[in-house]
Amino acid sequence: MEQSNPPALVRLSEGLGPLPWGDIEAWLEVSDASQIASDIRAYADAEVARAVAAERERCAQIVETYPVPVGNSAAGEMAAEWTMDALREVRDAIRGA
């Protein structure tokens, strides 16, 4: 017969380390606090990853739509193309490509 641990009062943030939204002041009666802590940490990590990906895409959109002035000469056009090439490299670096 499998023996289970009796439920215990556990601080919800115990064992999680720093959370992106701060400390959680809640207590739960649980029999497996480590599993709950692991689940919360996995959820928090996934939320942070989604937020980082969204912010990177916003940054890449800014770089993609940045207006680059073009001069009225061949040198101005070349400079504009070099600038666009550099901005594309920045965009790709932001996206991690």
**Count of H-run helices and E-run strands, the chain:** 2, 2
User: Structure pTM?
Assistant: 0.53
CB 78 within 8 Å of CB 72: no
* Tens-binned pLDDT, residue by residue, of the chain (97 aa): 455 544 454 455 555 555 555 555 555 555 666 777 788 888 888 899 999 999 999 999 998 888 888 878 888 889 989 999 999 999 999 988 6
CB 30 within 8 Å of CB 7: yes
pLDDT of residue 58: 93
